[in-house]
Structure 1
Amino acid sequence: MSAQTVDERTYGGWTRPRREGMWGMGWTVSIAAFAAVVIALLVVMVVGLKAAAVVVVIELAVLAPLAHSRGGRTGYERALLMTNWWRTLLRRENIYLAGIFSRLGTCKLPGLMATSKLYESTDAAGYRFAMIHMPGHHAYTVLLRCWPQGARAVDQDRIDAWVAAWSGLLVTVGEKPDVEALTVVVDTLPETGNRLAAEVNALTRADAPEPARVMMAQLAAQLPVETVRMESWLSVTFKATTPARRKDPAEQAEEVARRLPLITAALAEAGVRARPMTGEEAIALLRRAWDPASEADLEAVAENGESHELSWDDAGPIFHDEKYDRLLHDGVVSVSWEMDLPPEGVVREKVLQRLLAPSDQLIRKRVAIVYRPHSAGDAAQIVDGDYKDALVAEQTERGVGSATAVMRVRATEAAREEQARGHGVTRFGALITVTEPAGADLPALEAITKDLSSQARLRIRRCYRYQAAAFSACLGAGALLPQMASLPRVVSES
């Protein structure tokens, strides 16, 4: 008998977009350095050597923070981020107080989602769906509740087909110029027991023997103890591309209603059963995230088929205090991390399994993966530009760095070929939020979270000075950090 080798599907080859300039520096630094050299030469010819020396010292002081980057941010980016943070502290804008007896009179969502509004409509398949409107950015977000099938006892060919279907969904969505992002959120939280109790009540007959009914009730009360469950949802953020859709949400709702059944059908091909969330479900989702103590009551009401009678202005917290490295809100503390680098090398489809799986050490853990697909026209320009920049880097770098440059050339060349065959180009990132009771051991939580991320081959960094923004973005309810960033791109390393 001859042993047959089975080819495994692997994934990778992703690169961080970066325009290469002189000596491996970013494009912005290269342009600024070239301008500085020209200015210094002009000063030498017009004024003299001493004045030119002073100009060179000033130019070096100006360019050094832009040329030196740490954690993906230049010195100017870190300085602006720190300045904005201190301004926030001085104005006490990091503290949010809401409720009936506050000046707001409600519990509106804070921070990036303070101006958001909620609308509800019906899609072409007859499902009611919630649509979150961000007026300042002309963005509309819809949420879909998802029930992934899972890969247990499933053939590898079927798993590969699901992955290919998900890739096809990203390509199809990228062909539409009005799709800003798709955000996949996997949330783990403690089981309250309300769902099991409702199921037991439905299964238990009134004329059943007394011992049987008592045993079923006891099991329903005891089984959920220390049990962690998983929930997942997908959000699609649309950009209003016409003046009518920017002014009238009903116009955008009509377009979203037409396309939602197509998205749910594409998700079904990827092994995910999904349906749009209603307005009540969207409100309960955000309220539970900001106020975990309300989870049991909201779930009990939902299981009984009743309305929680909360409005969009009641979806936020009563209190939150944003610290340098954490966020305090409604009796709990949340810490958020963002992806610094994607998995290195090639990976398989189960690379994120341990990070997404429920953990007894991190009961409330939310992982959001944000996909921002490019249109077909932009994708062709991007892959061509990345390939040219990689060639420049290969020609300018020497030593150990040259090996990395060679690998980048190969990756960008493969991306060009795949894009020419019809594949899409998508930017992606990840956010992780862990919520624990106030007074939790934060160093231990960080160690556990980084250990899980390292098992997923992700390099993450803590969201210092923007914990509230990262918390909102990790909900996948319309807050997109790249589109809402306050730092100018001119000071970045790109």
Structure 2
Amino acid sequence: MTAPAPQRRTYGGWSRPRSEGMFGLAWEATVLGFVFVVAAMVTAVLISFTAALVVAGSEALVWAPLAFRANGRTGYERAVVMAQWLRTWSRKENLYRSGIFSRHGSAKLPGLLAISQLYEGIDANGYRFGIVHMPKQALYTVMLRVWPAGAENVDQPVVDQWVAAWGQFVASVGGANDIVAITPVISTIPETGHRLAHEVDELTRPDAPELAAAMMTELAQTLPSHTVRLDAWCAITFRATTPERRRQPAEQAVEIGRRLPGITVALGQAGVRTRPMTADEVTATVRRAFDPAAEADLETAVATTDGHGIGWDEAGPISYLERTGRLEHDGAVSTTWEMDAAPSGTVDERVLQWLLAPTPELSRKRVALVLRPHAAADAAGIVDDDYKNALVATQSGKGVVSAHATLRVGATEQAREEQARGHGVTRFGVLITVTSPVGADLPRIDALTQDLSVQARLRVRRAHYYQAAAFAGSLGVGVLLPEMATLPRVMAA
């Protein structure tokens, strides 16, 4: 008699935080609606009924864009984003040209990365690591090279242990009040063959038989053709909490170097082998994202010399044009999609497998999972507020809204219990960037991207009017879109 197969663990229960008001509206829209009703009634009593109708009509025009949403965004959000894009387009700020003959004199990074700076430190284990500094937000980001173990030949209990260790890592990191984001990035790029050729040259002995050497050389030339390789890294973003660390990056580098060994050990328990990325590796990662044609030159330079010799001021594109739904840069076209809604229901740990796996039709694909842990001191209040808002929604909605709100009550109640047991509370989102050569079949590429998202049970939408910002956010170099948004929070209530 055979033993039953172990049951696969499932995950879910996430909910989008929202302050619930009356009739399923946001709390801010509800309060503003009551204020407008009172104002109209006072006008009718003190002036006239006609004046009250005029006031009520004006108030409705102001209130409606905040009360009604389209694709999860209020009318004010959409209007402000559109106005900002029109201003950017009219000023030609969506067009960027750089290089030695430009006003900048080099290929500096554009957009949100324009003011960023790159430093290098040494951790407690003696590894050099690069630090991307965003001075305005006082953010410091360190990137770790990741070699995922994979789960093809791993028993399910081991996979469950890895998932649990990853959850403990995110929760423990969230307990630190200076870590604002963890961004694992899985990128696929075409294999050039330079790395394999260099490795074959090093492994082949000078006195090897001529036939064996010829076979090794031929394999090195034929194997990489039409293949896609996986490249992964994990970015951890710190916020400087003292005036000294805000003013002096060296002070923050010392603190990060002290904590990096513990972070790499914790990631190792989750089945992930890591190593801090040097400043040269960070620069190369950003450069090849903006200039895909530089990939072969970068690999050759790293394999044959001590480094590529490219500085942070030369990591940007030469040509750069942002359109409403795409980003054109250095002979390539990139489209970035953002997660609109998390997977519905429960999923297992392989839910993103097809989205992350190398796809020949989408050879250059980058998926960034942006995790923003809440500090341990704030987590209890957040889950309690979510639970109260979910209870309000069950009393104010009708029909399908009440059924959805009932499920939300169960999810928020479970979150309260898990938080009380020591689990963390984390906000998360997904950015998907697909880069293709100019002239590629873009409608087919868009359809393939949406199909992969559907297989991952993600609902995604194109990042209209902020493709450049979303592209930088998916790089995992410290660009956090919620932290750098220019839209007032009350308009996004």
Do both share a fold (TM > 0.5)?
Answer: yes
Q: What amino acid is the match of 2:389?
A: D
What SS does structure 2 have at the residue aligned with 1:453?
helix
Deviation at 1:412, TM superposition (A): 0.5
What SS does structure 1 have at the residue aligned with 2:351?
coil
Q: Conserved in 1, the CA contact under 8 Å of 2:374 and 2:425?
A: yes
Distance 1:158 1:302 in 2: 36
What SS does structure 2 have at the residue aligned with 1:433?
strand
Could you tell me which residue of structure 2 aligns to residue 464 of structure 1? 464
What SS does structure 2 have at the residue aligned with 1:337?
strand
Could you tell me which residue of structure 2 aligns to residue 235 of structure 1? 235
User: What pairs with 1:282-301 in structure 2 (closer than 5 Å)?
Assistant: 282-301=282-301
Could you tell me which residue of structure 1 aligns to residue 374 of structure 2? 374
Deviation at 1:56, TM superposition (A): 0.5
Distance 2:31 2:258 in 1: 46
Question: Which digits, 9 at most, give the CA deviation of each residue in 1:74-114, with x for residues without a partner?
Answer: 11110100000000011000001000000000111100000
Going from structure 1 to structure 2, the CA distance change for 1:216 and 1:5 (only over 3 Å counts) comes to: closer
- Structure 1 window deviating more from structure 2 (74-83 vs 203-212): it is 203-212
The unaligned stretches of length 5 or more in structure 2 are none
**TM-score when normalising by structure 2:** 0.99
What SS does structure 1 have at the residue aligned with 2:146?
strand
Could you tell me which residue of structure 1 aligns to residue 197 of structure 2? 197
What SS does structure 1 have at the residue aligned with 2:367?
strand
What SS does structure 2 have at the residue aligned with 1:136?
coil
Q: What amino acid is the match of 1:439?
A: G
What SS does structure 1 have at the residue aligned with 2:136?
helix
User: What pairs with 1:103-122 in structure 2 (closer than 5 Å)?
Assistant: 103-122=103-122
Distance 1:31 1:89 in 2: 36
Could you tell me which residue of structure 2 aligns to residue 421 of structure 1? 421
Q: What amino acid is the match of 2:471?
A: F
Deviation at 1:211, TM superposition (A): 2.1
> Are residues 1:87 and 2:87 paired?
yes
- Structure 1 window deviating more from structure 2 (349-358 vs 204-213): it is 204-213
Could you tell me which residue of structure 1 aligns to residue 185 of structure 2? 185
What SS does structure 2 have at the residue aligned with 1:275?
strand
> Are residues 1:315 and 2:315 paired?
yes
Deviation at 1:28, TM superposition (A): 1.3
Q: What amino acid is the match of 2:404?
A: T
Q: Conserved in 1, the CA contact under 8 Å of 2:379 and 2:425?
A: yes
Distance 2:29 2:305 in 1: 60
Distance 2:45 2:396 in 1: 30
Could you tell me which residue of structure 1 aligns to residue 250 of structure 2? 250
User: What pairs with 1:204-215 in structure 2 (closer than 5 Å)?
Assistant: 204-215=204-215
Q: What amino acid is the match of 1:90?
A: S
> Are residues 1:61 and 2:90 paired?
no
Question: Which digits, 9 at most, give the CA deviation of each residue in 1:351-405, with x for residues without a partner?
Answer: 0000000001100000000000001121101100000000000111111221111
User: What pairs with 1:284-363 in structure 2 (closer than 5 Å)?
Assistant: 284-363=284-363
What SS does structure 2 have at the residue aligned with 1:251?
helix
Could you tell me which residue of structure 2 aligns to residue 222 of structure 1? 222
Q: What amino acid is the match of 1:30?
A: T
Distance 1:242 1:99 in 2: 37
Q: What amino acid is the match of 2:405?
A: A
Could you tell me which residue of structure 2 aligns to residue 403 of structure 1? 403
Could you tell me which residue of structure 1 aligns to residue 454 of structure 2? 454
Q: Conserved in 1, the CA contact under 8 Å of 2:13 and 2:346?
A: yes
Q: What amino acid is the match of 2:317?
A: P
Going from structure 1 to structure 2, the CA distance change for 1:3 and 1:222 (only over 3 Å counts) comes to: closer
User: What pairs with 1:270-285 in structure 2 (closer than 5 Å)?
Assistant: 270-285=270-285
Distance 1:5 1:255 in 2: 46
Distance 1:226 1:168 in 2: 39
Deviation at 1:214, TM superposition (A): 1.6
Going from structure 1 to structure 2, the CA distance change for 1:141 and 1:435 (only over 3 Å counts) comes to: same
Deviation at 1:193, TM superposition (A): 0.3
Distance 2:64 2:438 in 1: 41
What SS does structure 2 have at the residue aligned with 1:137?
coil
Deviation at 1:449, TM superposition (A): 0.3
Could you tell me which residue of structure 2 aligns to residue 157 of structure 1? 157
What SS does structure 2 have at the residue aligned with 1:320?
strand
- Structure 1 window deviating more from structure 2 (35-44 vs 124-133): it is 35-44
Going from structure 1 to structure 2, the CA distance change for 1:2 and 1:126 (only over 3 Å counts) comes to: closer
- Structure 1 window deviating more from structure 2 (268-277 vs 399-408): it is 399-408
What SS does structure 2 have at the residue aligned with 1:202?
helix
- Structure 1 window deviating more from structure 2 (444-453 vs 212-221): it is 212-221
Distance 1:406 1:324 in 2: 38
What SS does structure 2 have at the residue aligned with 1:310?
coil
Going from structure 1 to structure 2, the CA distance change for 1:2 and 1:223 (only over 3 Å counts) comes to: closer
Identity %: 58
Deviation at 1:2, TM superposition (A): 7.9
Deviation at 1:306, TM superposition (A): 2.1
Deviation at 1:297, TM superposition (A): 0.8
Deviation at 1:3, TM superposition (A): 6.2
Deviation at 1:304, TM superposition (A): 2.5
Distance 2:386 2:233 in 1: 33
Could you tell me which residue of structure 2 aligns to residue 8 of structure 1? 8
Distance 2:246 2:5 in 1: 56
Distance 2:291 2:5 in 1: 52
Deviation at 1:31, TM superposition (A): 1.2
**TM-score when normalising by structure 1:** 0.99
What SS does structure 2 have at the residue aligned with 1:11?
coil
Distance 2:303 2:262 in 1: 29
Distance 1:20 1:68 in 2: 14
Deviation at 1:15, TM superposition (A): 0.1
Could you tell me which residue of structure 2 aligns to residue 33 of structure 1? 33
Could you tell me which residue of structure 2 aligns to residue 125 of structure 1? 125
What SS does structure 2 have at the residue aligned with 1:235?
strand
Distance 1:24 1:18 in 2: 10
Q: What amino acid is the match of 1:401?
A: V
Distance 1:368 1:435 in 2: 14
Q: Conserved in 1, the CA contact under 8 Å of 2:333 and 2:436?
A: yes
Distance 1:271 1:326 in 2: 36
Aligned-pair RMSD on alpha carbons?
Answer: 1.0
Distance 1:181 1:129 in 2: 18
Q: What amino acid is the match of 1:222?
A: T
Question: Which digits, 9 at most, give the CA deviation of each residue in 1:180-227, with x for residues without a partner?
Answer: 100000000000001111121122111122222122111111111101
Could you tell me which residue of structure 1 aligns to residue 139 of structure 2? 139
Q: What amino acid is the match of 2:129?
A: F
Q: Conserved in 1, the CA contact under 8 Å of 2:24 and 2:401?
A: no
Deviation at 1:328, TM superposition (A): 0.3
